[in-house]
Amino acid sequence: MPKTHPHAEATYRVIPFDNGAFGVEVTIPDSHPTRVSMFKTEADAEAWIAEHRRRVQCQTQSGRQFRRSSGPRR
């Protein structure tokens, strides 16, 4: 049975910062929101969201196994 990507039901919100930059808040059901930052423009943040959604969709369709990241790889 294919697994659903952990981010398949994520919601995204662009957040403006006081310094003029932008971040993205990613909320996954039953999980705490996380923020991805810094983007120079709102368009850059929106482009990141679109690319992230595309990758999630591709990985879901390919049936790849998903695993949680345990931090940066070395």
Task: Spell out the domain ranges in the chain.
Answer: 11-62
- Please classify residue 45 by burial: count the beta carbons closer than 10 Å to its beta carbon, then call 0-12 exposed, 13-18 middle and 19+ buried: buried
**What per-residue confidence (pLDDT) applies to 73?**
40
Residue 19 token pair:
């310094």
Report field, pTM of the whole predicted structure over 0.85: no
Q: Which residues does the chain have with pLDDT short of 70?
A: 1-5, 62-74
**What per-residue confidence (pLDDT) applies to 74?**
36
Rounded Cα–Cα distance for residues 45 and 52 (Å):
11
Rounded Cα–Cα distance for residues 25 and 52 (Å):
12
**What per-residue confidence (pLDDT) applies to 70?**
46
